[in-house]
Chain A
Amino acid sequence: MKKLEWFPQALVNSYAQVFFSNNKWFGIILLLLTFVDFYVGIYGLLSVSAALLTGYIIGLSEYPIRQGYYGFNSLLVGVGLAIYFQPGPLLLFLILISGVLTLFVSLAFEGILGKYGLPFLSLPFILVFWLLRLASRQFEALGLNERGIYVLNELYLLGGNQLVSLYEWWNQFPFPSSLKTYFLSLGAIFFQQNIFAGVFAAIGLLIYSRIGFTLSLLGFYIAYAFYLVLGVPFTGISYSFIGFNYFLTAIALGGFFIIPNKSSFASLLIIIPIVAVLSISLQEIFNLFYLPVHSFPFNLAVLTFLYGLKFRMDNRIGLSTIFWQQNSPEKNLYNYRNFMDRFGKDSPIPIYLPFFGEWAITQGHKGSYTHKDEWKHAWDFEIKDEEGKTFKDEGDYPADYYCFDKNLLAPAYGTIENVVNDVDDNPIGKRNLEKNWGNTIVIRHSDFLFSQLSHLRKGSIVPQIGDKVKKGDIIARLGNSGNSPFPHLHFQLQSTPHIGSKTIDYPISDVWMRYQNKDSLLSVATPPVGAMVSSLNPHSALKNAFSFVIGEQLKFKNKEEQQITWTVKKDYSLNRYLECEPSGSKAYFKLDEAMLHFTHFEGDRRSTLYRFYLAAYKISFGFTNGLELRDSFPINMVFHPKKIFLQDFIAPFLRYLRGNTDFAILKKETDFPSSLLN
């Protein structure tokens, strides 16, 4: 029986996944809701179970099964068939095989759409359901269901008089007609054409996601208004057959696959009318086959938009697409905001400062002298003394300048792409405009990432073209060649290998920055002019302690003498995490040369791993006495859900809760811990 331990979770999630959720309570509510019609409930359940068990037996990965990804389409097929046809052994058989068929169609769609990074949504359900609707016209033995017409009978059987009167009360309740239609549409997702089911589902939706709930209303009313304006004939019943397309689209594009914010909400003003037009015109086509469109317009619209958005240069502005799906608009939003606050621009290959010690930025991005137009994303570095001077004595000679002749380092692993090593160094005040860049080195870090260091000393460049360099290797000395009236380092990142290529806006990693009387340690930074920057020297003991090699196991006992094992693993997208046994919690982290960041936690908040996630949220391997680090948690990770309930509603526009945290090294124990030495 232990083998089927995953089953309840997978089952409940299969229900919740219809609304993209993996919320247990939402799943349970939806499950109960299908049982308003007992046969619908039981056949739906059987269909899902058939799919889930088949998936398990053929050996699909347990995680997506648990998440319900492979179940919800089968569920819809099962529920749909049970509504249309008379219950009986034949239908039972049909439902079981169609559940299995839907699983394989899901897998096929996952394979096809997954390549484009797209979800398969409810396409498998629609396809299989259409197939069966078409085929079943030949199945004489399947009688059409008449139960849907006698709902009260069913309810009486189920819950006696009380349930019937409750049902009546619901239906009599004086909701505005538009709201009634809303509830009907919501119920219609599970083929339940009654207000009772709709209200029930709405409560579940609210429990699952405040933003999702808001979006469903927004999507519905935009469509409602659009119908009114168009003057399209509109009746509650016929509308509700396609009404769920609007709020599913609204949830998907307003907050689930796209980070909910002002833009995503505003975009619905355009998208929802498009879906309305799609629904109307598709229905015209499918009427030829006597088929309902179901959620096809929603699928078509969502996939088209998501695919189209992928062609943008930057997926993080305006309509920001999700890169880490957590099955909840709130979680996605909070984590995304937090990630942007902490890491900002992504830097898949960390680029570090190319020198020892503390240097001043004398010209930053979009600088006032030469960092303009194509070269606006570049830095000039010099060394300053405590009086702000960059030279000693009178500064008449290059050697008077503190930065002159200092070693320069490879900013990351790479191959030397281009070298100029024979331009004479200028006397102070003279520029060499003929050979603008002077002595220069270009290093290839990846096919689209190159770093360039310019104004180097004549003859000082160590490696040759084609040589490999590691991060921190000495590659040259700073000089005063090219367009350089006094010694300074020009440093830029570019996507092409030529000297003086167009610059790209790419950050520097792990920068200790003193700027406007504030010290901060930034995991990624685009330091501005006037900032003093340096790298903290990583301490080998700390670096070793947090190196977390994949497969490594950390074993210890907690206070209750319980054996705890943390294993370092990585997931499909190569995100690394610690997995805690026995709690099963996971803490995801990001590790580079100088810092460890925890990015995400899921699982049991009473586990030791959660404590560790909080404590080691940001670790710098280099440190000084009294070093203070500032960071922030996603608010859903530190606040109780009750506390953020209200925040959730307005979170896309305004966030008043903050999860800020400070870490301080009060007193460093020792520089040479014994444990490291032997």
Chain B
Amino acid sequence: MEKLPFERPTIQKISAGIPSKHGISRKLEPLSHIDGLSIKSLINEYGSPLFILSESSIRKTYKEAYRAFSSRYPNVQFAWSYKTNYLNAVCKAFHQEGVWAEVVSGFEYDKAAANGVPGESIIFNGPNKSKEDLRKAIQNSSLIHIDHFDELYEIIHLSREMDERPKVAIRINMDVGVYPKWDRFGFNFENGEAWDALNRIKASKNLDLIGLHTHIGTYMMTTEAYKIAASKLAQLAVSLEKKHGHVIQYIDIGGGFASKNTVRGAYYPGTDTTPSFDDFAEAITSALMSSEIKPDHLPMLILETGRALIDDAGYLAGTVLANKRLSDGRRATIIDTGVNLLFTAFWYEHDIRPIEPISDQMEDTTIYGPLCMNIDVIRGNVMFPLLKKGDHYVVRRVGAYNTTQWMQFINLRPQIVMLDMKGKAHLVRKGETLDTINSQEITPEHLQNFNL
């Protein structure tokens, strides 16, 4: 007879299937495969921890989003928000689907260009564009979204110097009824600054004003705000046509759609509360279609959705390092992923689960990362099965921001694989080695040698 696996003893109040005020007792279903490939075999091959991306999920999510908008509006264009995840493999998968690039720095601009995105399909956003960045963007006819007057003046100056017609849009912030108000980017709608900027652009005669852009915030859980934003931009476009006879080519409504992750402290899980692409699309397109914009002049609708497109496609798999008992009697499980890799752990109650069916019993557990830091908490308290050292876990919905905001800290950053449409794994970013870190460093001669 085969030896049964050992399961540590736990003490639990029996609530056998009877719903309490917290609902029915929940069993955490293990997740053993992604796109038909076993997570365990991936860990064995590529090491632990390991970021796993699903190409089919990327494409499927994009198609769903595109369908939601294109079945409601005649002219829709997505632009991939590079900062959300600028792994080349991810960007190129989106570009293959016809998505443009949206970048917010010279570095991201170069990355998009190096990926082969034509200049005309790069949207250059953000408050930080150096003179050289702008020069490059103007040269390549990229779409420059102006953030502030100093930038506007610089562009006007450059347009004269270079004798080119930069293609610009202005970023507009406005009150859409959500808190906190995002008013640090762009020109304000309500106080008239946006009009000042538009008049200034029209007066310069050197710039091609082709779009209006807004980004109302991040992780928006309400569609109403988008409706307000879209109708305010439409209103501006109509006034612009009335006053200057100028027809706007596109309205860029930014991003900020929430993904299905549960935000810390939220009462309901994100899977139940997050609006769908259809909900966002309905709000935005109905506002534009019912605006006073002439049907012939309906502008292109650009969306810079990042998080909602990629979060679901990312997984982080790893290994349990140890278990211990805390002073208050709660269990602690230490895993090999810290907050330096899983940056979003600060915001989300991540969906973390075992990859094998370990145990039917669950225990209130705190999940810690491997860093020597008190803040290194992946989940504060979660009903978690009784994983042992060496068992594997997987965190779902980690595709957004983690591989751009992660830090090399204490440990090296791990490998990233992408599963293609047929479920075959491809290494898309190599794990760091000591050489990766050391190769960037230069030690002065006098510090080279020591004698201990």
Per-residue interface assignment for chain A, residues 403 to 443, with 1 indicating a CB less than 8 Å from any chain B CB and 0 otherwise: 10011000000000000000000000000000000000000
- A residues 142-172 with Cβ under 8 Å of B? none
Asked whether, in the complex, the Cβ of A669 is within 8 Å of the Cβ of B289, the reply is no
CB distance from B195 to the nearest CB of A (A): 20
**Given the complex, which residues of B lie within 8 Å of A386, measured CB to CB?**
59-60, 63
- In the complex formed, the residue of B with least CB distance to A406 is B71
Asked whether, in the complex, the Cβ of A357 is within 8 Å of the Cβ of B208, the reply is no
Given contacts A474-B289, A625-B98, contact A383 B67 (CB under 8 A): yes
Asked whether, in the complex, the Cβ of B60 is within 8 Å of the Cβ of A473, the reply is no
Residue A63 at the chain B interface, CB threshold 8 Å: no
Asked whether, in the complex, the Cβ of B120 is within 8 Å of the Cβ of A671, the reply is yes
Size of the B side of the interface (Cβ < 8 Å), in residues, is 28
Residue B70 at the chain A interface, CB threshold 8 Å: yes
Cα distance A581–B121 in the bound complex, in angstroms: 40
CB distance from B421 to the nearest CB of A (A): 11
Residue A640 at the chain B interface, CB threshold 8 Å: no
Asked whether, in the complex, the Cβ of B249 is within 8 Å of the Cβ of A672, the reply is yes
CB distance from A4 to the nearest CB of B (A): 49
Cα distance A358–B67 in the bound complex, in angstroms: 8
Per-residue interface assignment for chain A, residues 645 to 678, with 1 indicating a CB less than 8 Å from any chain B CB and 0 otherwise: 0000000000000000000000101111010011
**Given the complex, which residues of B lie within 8 Å of A671, measured CB to CB?**
120-121, 249, 300
Residue B295 at the chain A interface, CB threshold 8 Å: yes
Asked whether, in the complex, the Cβ of B63 is within 8 Å of the Cβ of A356, the reply is no
Cα distance A470–B296 in the bound complex, in angstroms: 11
Per-residue interface assignment for chain B, residues 113 to 138, with 1 indicating a CB less than 8 Å from any chain A CB and 0 otherwise: 00000101100000000000000000
- B residues 199-226 with Cβ under 8 Å of A? 208-210
Contact of B141 among A358, A535, A537, A670 (CB under 8 A): A670
Residue A402 at the chain B interface, CB threshold 8 Å: yes
**Given the complex, which residues of A lie within 8 Å of B406, measured CB to CB?**
none
Asked whether, in the complex, the Cβ of A470 is within 8 Å of the Cβ of B295, the reply is yes
Given contacts A386-B60, A625-B98, contact A677 B70 (CB under 8 A): no
Residue B72 at the chain A interface, CB threshold 8 Å: yes
**Given the complex, which residues of B lie within 8 Å of A359, measured CB to CB?**
71
Per-residue interface assignment for chain B, residues 62 to 79, with 1 indicating a CB less than 8 Å from any chain A CB and 0 otherwise: 011001001111110000
Residue A528 at the chain B interface, CB threshold 8 Å: no
Residue B111 at the chain A interface, CB threshold 8 Å: no
Given contacts A386-B60, A402-B67, A470-B295, contact A674 B73 (CB under 8 A): no
Per-residue interface assignment for chain B, residues 214 to 257, with 1 indicating a CB less than 8 Å from any chain A CB and 0 otherwise: 00000000000000000000000000000000000110000000
Residue A624 at the chain B interface, CB threshold 8 Å: yes
Per-residue interface assignment for chain A, residues 453 to 473, with 1 indicating a CB less than 8 Å from any chain B CB and 0 otherwise: 000000000000000001011
**Given the complex, which residues of B lie within 8 Å of A540, measured CB to CB?**
296
Residue B167 at the chain A interface, CB threshold 8 Å: yes
Contact of A407 among B75, B143, B208, B289 (CB under 8 A): B289
Asked whether, in the complex, the Cβ of B208 is within 8 Å of the Cβ of A678, the reply is yes
The number of A-B residue pairs with CB atoms under 8 Å apart is 63
- In the complex formed, the residue of B with least CB distance to A534 is B70
**Given the complex, which residues of A lie within 8 Å of B250, measured CB to CB?**
672
Asked whether, in the complex, the Cβ of B295 is within 8 Å of the Cβ of A383, the reply is no
Cα distance A355–B67 in the bound complex, in angstroms: 13
Asked whether, in the complex, the Cβ of B67 is within 8 Å of the Cβ of A624, the reply is no
Cα distance A386–B98 in the bound complex, in angstroms: 16
Given contacts A624-B98, A672-B210, A674-B208, contact A356 B70 (CB under 8 A): yes
**Given the complex, which residues of B lie within 8 Å of A625, measured CB to CB?**
98
Residue A385 at the chain B interface, CB threshold 8 Å: yes
Asked whether, in the complex, the Cβ of B64 is within 8 Å of the Cβ of A670, the reply is no
- A residues 609-667 with Cβ under 8 Å of B? 624-625, 667
Cα distance A386–B63 in the bound complex, in angstroms: 8
Per-residue interface assignment for chain A, residues 270 to 292, with 1 indicating a CB less than 8 Å from any chain B CB and 0 otherwise: 00000000000000000000000
Cα distance A157–B59 in the bound complex, in angstroms: 90
Contact of B67 among A357, A470, A678 (CB under 8 A): A357
Cα distance A672–B64 in the bound complex, in angstroms: 27
- In the complex formed, the residue of B with least CB distance to A677 is B208
Cα distance A205–B73 in the bound complex, in angstroms: 59
Contact of A672 among B72, B167, B295 (CB under 8 A): B167
Asked whether, in the complex, the Cβ of B72 is within 8 Å of the Cβ of A356, the reply is yes
- B residues 24-67 with Cβ under 8 Å of A? 59-60, 63-64, 67
Per-residue interface assignment for chain A, residues 341 to 369, with 1 indicating a CB less than 8 Å from any chain B CB and 0 otherwise: 00000000000000111110000000000
CB distance from B44 to the nearest CB of A (A): 31
Cα distance A403–B67 in the bound complex, in angstroms: 10
Residue B165 at the chain A interface, CB threshold 8 Å: yes
Cα distance A382–B210 in the bound complex, in angstroms: 35
Cα distance A540–B210 in the bound complex, in angstroms: 13
Asked whether, in the complex, the Cβ of A672 is within 8 Å of the Cβ of B208, the reply is yes
Asked whether, in the complex, the Cβ of B167 is within 8 Å of the Cβ of A356, the reply is no
Given pairs A357-B72, A386-B60, A406-B72, 4 additional interface contacts (CB within 8 A): A356-B70, A356-B71, A383-B71, A470-B295
11 residue pairs from A and B, CB less than 8 Å apart: A355-B71, A356-B72, A357-B71, A358-B67, A383-B67, A383-B71, A402-B67, A402-B71, A473-B295, A677-B208, A677-B210
Which B positions have Cβ atoms within 8 angstroms of A?
59-60, 63-64, 67, 70-75, 98, 118, 120-121, 141, 143, 165, 167, 208-210, 249-250, 289, 295-296, 300
Across the A-B interface, the 4 shortest Cβ-Cβ residue pairs? A357-B71, A357-B70, A670-B120, A537-B75
